[in-house]
Amino acid sequence: MATLKVPPHPPSPTEDSEQLRKAFKGWGTNEALIISILGHRNAVQRKLIREAYNVTYGEDLLKDLDKELSSDFERVVLLWILDPAERDAYLANEATKKMTSDNWVILEIASTRSSLDLLKAKQAYQIRFKKSLEEDVAYHTSGDIRKLLVPLVSTFRYEGEEVNMTLAKSEAKVLHGKISGKTYNDEDLIRILTTRSRAQLSATLNHYKDEFGNAINKDLKTDPKDAYLKLLRAAIKCLTFPEKYFAKVLRLAINKLGTDECALTRVVATRAEVDLQRVGEEYQRRNSVPLDRAIANDTSGDYKSFLLALAGHEK
Amino acid sequence: MATLKVPPHPPSPTEDSEQLRKAFKGWGTNEALIISILGHRNAVQRKLIREAYNVTYGEDLLKDLDKELSSDFERVVLLWILDPAERDAYLANEATKKMTSDNWVILEIASTRSSLDLLKAKQAYQIRFKKSLEEDVAYHTSGDIRKLLVPLVSTFRYEGEEVNMTLAKSEAKVLHGKISGKTYNDEDLIRILTTRSRAQLSATLNHYKDEFGNAINKDLKTDPKDAYLKLLRAAIKCLTFPEKYFAKVLRLAINKLGTDECALTRVVATRAEVDLQRVGEEYQRRNSVPLDRAIANDTSGDYKSFLLALAGHEK
């Protein structure tokens, strides 16, 4: 469930774009006005506002926001205003670049989006960067991490609920065999995780637990610091329980000395219209603090106000 | 260019479906009538005919054709009448099954279709078989062949014409290094072939030839009988010169003792609306015989008539 709150009768996109223009004019920027508008419009509405702004003023709203805002507040507003597919394309591209490389972001986008949303992100990637996400991920990774990430971003996964129990049992056995033998980069293990539907994979992992005693991620924790194993466990969590995965990313971001704004911004901006409500529930279950209070305690100013607006929590 | 010839003012789908119904009725089937209709309708028209047939008679045209026709003629008509995406899904599924497994068909579909057509085939596959093409290909292959085929069917390749010459040079060098070292299953080699756009790959392979003297496929022919190397060379040909690849498949099918109807049917049915004209030119260039004459010499009866209709050559 989304946390974003949209008024029942919002102003027209033209009115919104006029208000935004006003917020930029005069002495200093009116951040509160920007937050009150953009923090309460869904993806379709934001797109229409961008279009209305462009028609009325002949300028790109994104560029004007870029000029007016700064630091963390700027980043969250700019990410938020993008269409979800464009935003994923932008984040994924950033994550394949040398200076900002981040395999976690690639893993997260590849494993938590629906097949259609991942496809749209790949199309947006091609339109914007004139190359494919697959080639960039393959080029910028290597070794076991490449073996895992490339099929994760490539597969157009089946999304039906059908489960083949015979297959689930036989593949649970395959997984257990490989993990017992510590061949974590085995190609069958990677094949199962990267190509099976979420429903089929869940059946396989449930059978794994029933039959062999441990949750698979427990068996994959032999070396807690190994980067490949960390990604492997995260992929499994993303595919089978994404809300719990996101709650953990938020926990690590917030508990970090000095807050990881990059991760906090990403999760709030990408999930506010999807499942941030459920993510918040998982967060509270694990941390005994409501997510919005944790965010409020760890951030400040306009950045804080905007995150809280997206998280559905008004002052 | 297509070879299919559609009349400028074809009968309505309802009229066509009535004529087809007539062809099934009475003493024996009127194959000539079936050929004169279905051999001259494009994908959209065939779809409308199937729909009209279903509305008028409450039956599936495919099933009625299946009852009325037999052997090679039946197979070519049934494959032809399918929507291209459904047809690719059907062929690919057949190719992943134990008894009819055929890595060449998977390779061909993965490497000669546009990104969008491959995606549509994958969607049709999921609708019909309730699982993904990727998982079936990954499950039914192993070793080096899996390493090649899975990314080939998975990648949503960029199709723009932009070429990065610096990258082409550096990747040509990578390819040459791996091939010189005989590590044909190297992951960088496979990455380059399976993720780069056709334009980029062509630039890389042209540079390879300029810089190192041989066409890459010549250097990959060290062991002409090795199944993986054969597929690797075929993938390169499919990606860079599909018409030539199809002309070769036809040549092998026709020259074979006893004709390979399966391959002949597949290439004619899948390319008649796409590039069979160009394939025929390549065929004649290599064999000094027009393709339609070669087909006519090697086939007979209704099967022959239907293939020739699709190849644009009437009696």
Which residue ranges of A are tagged as binding site for Ca(2+)? 24, 26, 28, 68, 254, 256, 258, 296, 298-299
ipTM, two decimals, is: 0.79
- Whether residue B93 has pLDDT greater than 90: yes
When scoring B135, B147, B152, B190 by the number of chain A Cβ atoms within 10 A, the one with the most, hence best to mutate, is: B135
Encode pLDDT of A172-196 as tens digits: 999 999 999 999 999 999 999 999 9
Q: What is the Cα–Cα distance from A40 to A59, expressed in whole angstroms?
A: 22
- Looking at every residue in chain B, the average pLDDT score rounds to 95
Chain B interface residues facing chain A, Cβ-Cβ under 8 Å? 119, 122-123, 126, 130-135, 138-139, 146-147, 150-151, 154-160, 162, 187, 191, 195-197, 200
Residue B21 has what pLDDT?
95
User: Given an 8 Å threshold on Cβ–Cβ distance, is B162 in contact with A131?
Assistant: yes
When scoring B154, B164, B201, B239 by the number of chain A Cβ atoms within 10 A, the one with the most, hence best to mutate, is: B154
Residue B25 has what pLDDT?
86
Q: How confident is the model at residue A27 (pLDDT cuts 50, 70, 90)?
A: confident
Domain B242-310 -> CATH class: mainly alpha
Q: How confident is the model at residue B313 (pLDDT cuts 50, 70, 90)?
A: confident
Tokens found for residue A247: 């709650």
User: Given an 8 Å threshold on Cβ–Cβ distance, is B195 in contact with A134?
Assistant: yes
Residue A28 has what pLDDT?
83
Residue A11 has what pLDDT?
96
Which residue ranges of A are tagged as binding site? 24, 26, 28, 68, 254, 256, 258, 296, 298-299
Q: How confident is the model at residue A254 (pLDDT cuts 50, 70, 90)?
A: very high
User: Residues B199-225: what's their mean pLDDT?
Assistant: 94
Letter for the amino acid at B37? Answer: I
* Closest by Cβ to A146, choosing from B122, B130, B187: B187
Question: Could you confirm whether domain A165-240 is CATH 1.10.220.10?
Answer: yes
Note whether B61 and B49 are within 8 A (CB): yes
* Closest by Cβ to B135, choosing from A126, A162, A195: A195
- Whether residue A22 has pLDDT greater than 60: yes
When scoring B156, B166, B167 by the number of chain A Cβ atoms within 10 A, the one with the most, hence best to mutate, is: B156
Encode pLDDT of B25-79 as tens digits: 877 889 999 999 999 999 999 999 999 999 999 999 999 999 999 999 999 999 9
Three-class SS of residue B118? Answer: helix
- Whether residue A114 has pLDDT greater than 70: yes
Q: How confident is the model at residue A314 (pLDDT cuts 50, 70, 90)?
A: low
Chain A residues within an 8 Å CB radius of B189: none
Domain spans, chain A: 13-69, 85-141, 165-240, 242-310
Containing A212, the helix (H) or strand (E) segment is helix A198-212
Q: In which residue are the tokens 């292959």 written? A: B141
Chain A residues within an 8 Å CB radius of B157: 132, 134
Residue B110 has what pLDDT?
98
* Closest by Cβ to A156, choosing from B119, B157, B191: B119
Residue A258 has what pLDDT?
79
Q: How confident is the model at residue B258 (pLDDT cuts 50, 70, 90)?
A: confident
Q: Distance, in angstroms, between B94 CA and closest chain A CA?
A: 18
User: Residues A81-87: what's their mean pLDDT?
Assistant: 97
Encode pLDDT of A197-248 as tens digits: 999 999 999 999 999 999 999 999 998 899 999 999 999 999 999 999 999 9
Residue B257 has what pLDDT?
75
Q: What is the Cα–Cα distance from A9 to A258, expressed in whole angstroms?
A: 39
Q: Distance, in angstroms, between B181 CA and closest chain A CA?
A: 19
Contacts of residue A273, Cβ cutoff 8 Å, sequence gap at least 6: A2, A4, A42, A43, A84
Q: How confident is the model at residue A302 (pLDDT cuts 50, 70, 90)?
A: very high
User: Given an 8 Å threshold on Cβ–Cβ distance, is A135 in contact with B162?
Assistant: no
The CATH number fitting domain A13-69, selected from 1.10.220.10, 3.40.50.2300, 1.10.1740.10, 3.40.50.720? 1.10.220.10
Residue A272 has what pLDDT?
97
- Whether residue B224 has pLDDT greater than 90: no
Residue A69 has what pLDDT?
92
Tell me the CB-side half-sphere exposure of residue A242, using CA atoms within 13 A.
18
User: Residues B291-296: what's their mean pLDDT?
Assistant: 95
User: Residues B227-249: what's their mean pLDDT?
Assistant: 96
Residue A187 has what pLDDT?
94
Residue B255 has what pLDDT?
85
User: Given an 8 Å threshold on Cβ–Cβ distance, is A126 in contact with B150?
Assistant: no
A197 → chain B, closest CA residue: B131
Chain A interface residues facing chain B, Cβ-Cβ under 8 Å? 119, 122-123, 126, 130-135, 138-139, 146-147, 150-151, 154-160, 162, 187, 191, 194-197, 200
Higher-confidence position of A315 and B111: B111
- Whether residue A253 has pLDDT greater than 60: yes
Contacts of residue A153, Cβ cutoff 8 Å, sequence gap at least 6: A92, A106, A109, A110, A118, A122, A133, A134, A137
Q: What is the Cα–Cα distance from A291 to A269, expressed in whole angstroms?
A: 14
Q: In which residue are the tokens 């190994």 written? A: A226
Residue B315 has what pLDDT?
54
User: Residues B136-158: what's their mean pLDDT?
Assistant: 96
Chain A residues within an 8 Å CB radius of B187: 146-147
* Closest by Cβ to A158, choosing from B132, B138, B191: B132
Overall pTM > 0.80: yes
- Number of A to B CB contacts under 8 A, please give it: 99
Which residue ranges of B are tagged as binding site for Ca(2+)? 24, 26, 28, 68, 254, 256, 258, 296, 298-299
Chain B residues within an 8 Å CB radius of A146: 187, 191
Q: Distance, in angstroms, between A279 CA and closest chain B CA?
A: 29
Q: Distance, in angstroms, between B162 CA and closest chain A CA?
A: 7
Which residue ranges of B are tagged as binding site? 24, 26, 28, 68, 254, 256, 258, 296, 298-299
Contacts of residue A168, Cβ cutoff 8 Å, sequence gap at least 6: A200, A203, A204, A206, A207
**Distances B190 to A154, B55, B196, B205, B232 between C-alpha atoms, Å:** 14, 49, 10, 14, 9
Chain A residues within an 8 Å CB radius of B123: 156
State in Å, rounded, how far the first CA of chain A is from the last one: 21
Residue B284 has what pLDDT?
93
User: Given an 8 Å threshold on Cβ–Cβ distance, is B138 in contact with A191?
Assistant: yes
The CATH number assigned to the domain with range A85-141 reads 1.10.220.10
Alpha-helical (H) ranges within A97-164 are 103-112, 115-129, 133-140, 143-154
User: Residues B184-193: what's their mean pLDDT?
Assistant: 97
User: Residues B144-166: what's their mean pLDDT?
Assistant: 96
Q: Distance, in angstroms, between A44 CA and closest chain B CA?
A: 25
Equal CATH topology for A85-141 and A242-310: yes
Residue B228 has what pLDDT?
97
A157 → chain B, closest CA residue: B132
User: Given an 8 Å threshold on Cβ–Cβ distance, is A147 in contact with B191?
Assistant: no
The CATH number assigned to the domain with range B84-154 reads 1.10.220.10
Chain A residues within an 8 Å CB radius of B126: 156, 158-160
Q: What is the Cα–Cα distance from A20 to A49, expressed in whole angstroms?
A: 9
